[in-house]
C-alpha cells in the first residue's frame, strides 16, 4: 500500500473506532466487522468482498504500532498538521512548501503546482527523499533517521507490508501444505506449517511489496480460513473423532479399529459397559507440530438399531426383563429440582 493510499483512506473510519482507540478496541472492532462482511456470508457480493478487504488492510496497519505511528504522521501531514507557513513569518523566510518547491521546481520558488497537487511530486516521492518508504518516515529526531536532517547513507527502507486471506482444507491445516497465492498480481509460494487453526494469521517475511531501489520486500500477513471436516476436528494439537459402536459392543466390550489422519489405523479398546458419549484418549496420535505432538480423543457413540425382529427382538425383551429393577433415570427428578 502506497503513502498516497494512506492519505486517501481513513482506516479508523473503516473499523469504526476513534483515533485514540487502544489495541484491544481495534481488535474487537476488526473481528466484528470481518465477521459481518465475510465472503461466506455474502457470496457473489462484490461490495461486501471489497469492504472485507478494506477491513483487513485497515487492521494490518492499525494493529502494528510502528505502522500505525507512520500512518498517523502521514495523515497529519496530508491534512495540514505538519505544514509550516511559507514565505513570511518563519525562520529564514521559507516554509515547508517553499523547501519542496525549490527541490522539485529547479531552484527558485514561484508560480506552479503545490507539492502533492496536480502536476506536483507524489507524496511517496517526497517520503523517499527522506529515506522513508511508501507509508512511513524514518526514525530519529529528523527525517530519514538522522538526528537533525537528512541521512544520505541510510539504507533504503523495506517495502510495505500487505495482507491476504485464503481458505485451506482441514487436512492441509492439520498436516501442513504448500500454497501458491496471487497477491497484488504476483504469485507467492509459501509453506503452511502443520497444526494451524481457523482464523490464524501468519507473517510471511519478505513476501510483501518489493522495496524501493532494491531494498528488502515487506511482509505478507496471511489469514487462514480452515474448512470444517465431516469426521475430524482439532483442539490445539489434539485430534477428535466420534466412532459408532454396536449396543452389544458397548455392553460387553470390544476392540475397534479407528482411522488416523495420515491414512493409518489404531486399535482402541472399548471397556465393557461404556456409555454413549464417553471419550477415550490415545496418546501421541494427534497432530504433530515442531513444538509438540497431540493426542487422539475418541468419543464413543452407541448405535441403536432401528429395526429389531425375530430372535434379536426376543433377546432384547429378555434383557429388559432381566434388568427390570435397574432404572437409568434414578435420581434425575431430584437432581433437576435442586
What CA–CA distance (Å, rounded) separates 120 from 101?
A: 9
Residue 41: predicted pLDDT:
83
Residue 50: predicted pLDDT:
86
Which residue reads 459397559 in cell numbers? 273
Predicted confidence band of residue 208 (pLDDT cuts 50, 70, 90): confident
Beta-bridge partners for 125: none
Residue 125: predicted pLDDT:
52
> Dihedral angle at the C-alpha atoms of 184, 158, 70, 189, nearest 10 degrees?
30
Lowest mean pLDDT among 112-116, 192-196, 247-251, 304-308: 112-116
pTM of the model: 0.51
Over pLDDT 90: what percentage of the chain?
33
Residue-wise pLDDT tens digits, 50-102: 888 888 888 888 988 888 888 888 877 765 544 444 444 444 444 444 444 44
What CA–CA distance (Å, rounded) separates 225 from 170?
A: 9
- In degrees, rounded to 5, the angle at the alpha carbon of residue 221 between the alpha carbons of residues 220 and 225 is 125
- The boundaries of every CATH 1.10.287.110 domain in the chain are 3-145
Query: What CATH number does domain 162-226 carry, 3.40.1670.10, 3.40.50.720, 1.10.150.530, 2.60.260.20?
Result: 2.60.260.20
Fold of the CATH domain 233-336:
HSP40/DNAj peptide-binding domain (2.60.260)
- Among 54, 239, 277, residue whose Cα is nearest residue 163: 54
Residue 43: predicted pLDDT:
79
- Looking at domain 3-145, its CATH superfamily turns out to be DnaJ domain (1.10.287.110)
What is the residue-averaged pLDDT of the chain? 79
Phi, psi of 214 (to 5 degrees): 80, 10
Residue 177: predicted pLDDT:
92
- The boundaries of every CATH 2.60.260.20 domain in the chain are 162-226, 233-336
Q: Is the pLDDT of residue 203 over 80?
A: yes
Residue-wise pLDDT tens digits, 248-290: 999 999 999 999 998 899 999 999 999 999 999 999 999 998 8
- Among 70, 66, 54, residue whose Cα is nearest residue 16: 54
Residue 4: predicted pLDDT:
60
Residue 233: predicted pLDDT:
94
- One-character DSSP codes across 283-330: TT-S-B-SS-B--EEEEEEEEPPS---HHHHHHHHHHHHHTTT--TTT
What CA–CA distance (Å, rounded) separates 170 from 71?
A: 37
Residue-wise pLDDT tens digits, 111-155: 444 444 444 445 555 454 444 444 444 444 444 444 444 444 555
Amino acid at each position: 500500500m502506497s503513502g498516497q493510499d494512506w492519505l486517501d483512506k481513513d482506516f479508523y473510519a473503516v473499523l469504526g473506532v476513534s483515533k485514540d482507540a487502544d489495541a484491544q478496541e481495534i481488535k474487537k472492532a476488526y473481528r466484528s466487522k470481518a465477521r459481518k462482511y465475510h465472503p461466506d456470508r455474502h457470496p457473489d457480493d462484490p461490495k461486501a468482498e471489497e469492504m472485507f478487504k478494506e477491513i483487513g488492510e485497515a487492521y494490518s496497519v492499525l494493529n502494528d504500532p510502528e505502522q500505525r505511528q507512520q500512518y498517523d504522521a502521514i495523515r497529519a501531514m496530508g491534512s495540514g498538521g505538519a505544514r509550516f507557513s511559507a514565505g513570511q513569518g518563519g525562520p529564514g523566510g521559507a516554509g515547508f512548501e517553499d523547501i519542496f518547491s525549490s527541490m522539485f521546481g529547479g531552484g527558485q520558488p514561484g508560480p506552479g503546482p503545490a507539492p502533492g497537487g496536480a502536476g506536483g511530486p507524489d507524496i511517496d516521492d517526497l517520503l523517499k527523499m527522506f529515506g522513508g518508504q511508501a507509508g512511513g518516515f524514518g526514525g530519529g529526531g529528523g527525517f530519514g533517521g538522522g538526528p537533525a536532517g537528512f541521512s544520505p547513507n541510510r539504507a533504503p527502507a523495506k517495502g510495505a507490508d500487505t495482507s491476504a486471506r485464503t481458505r485451506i482444507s482441514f487436512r492441509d491445516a492439520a498436516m501442513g501444505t504448500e500454497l501458491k497465492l496471487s497477491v497484488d498480481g504476483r504469485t507467492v509460494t509459501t509453506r503452511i506449517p502443520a497444526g494451524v487453526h481457523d482464523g490464524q494469521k501468519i507473517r510471511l517475511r519478505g513476501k510483501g511489496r518489493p522495496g524501493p531501489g532494491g531494498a528488502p520486500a515487506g511482509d505478507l500477513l496471511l489469514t487462514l480460513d480452515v474448512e470444517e471436516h465431516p469426521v475430524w476436528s482439532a483442539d490445539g494439537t489434539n485430534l477428535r473423532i466420534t466412532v459408532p459402536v454396536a449396543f452389544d459392543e458397548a455392553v460387553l466390550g470390544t476392540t475397534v479399529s479407528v482411522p488416523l489422519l495420515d491414512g493409518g489405523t489404531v486399535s482402541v479398546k472399548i471397556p465393557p459397559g461404556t456409555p454413549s458419549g464417553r471419550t477415550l484418549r490415545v496418546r501421541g496420535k494427534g497432530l504433530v507440530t515442531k513444538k509438540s505432538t497431540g493426542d487422539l480423543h475418541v468419543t464413543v457413540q452407541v448405535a441403536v438399531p432401528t429395526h429389531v425382529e425375530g430372535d434379536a427382538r426376543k433377546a432384547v425383551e429378555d434383557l429388559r426383563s432381566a434388568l427390570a429393577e435397574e432404572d437409568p433415570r434414578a435420581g434425575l427428578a431430584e437432581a433437576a429440582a435442586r
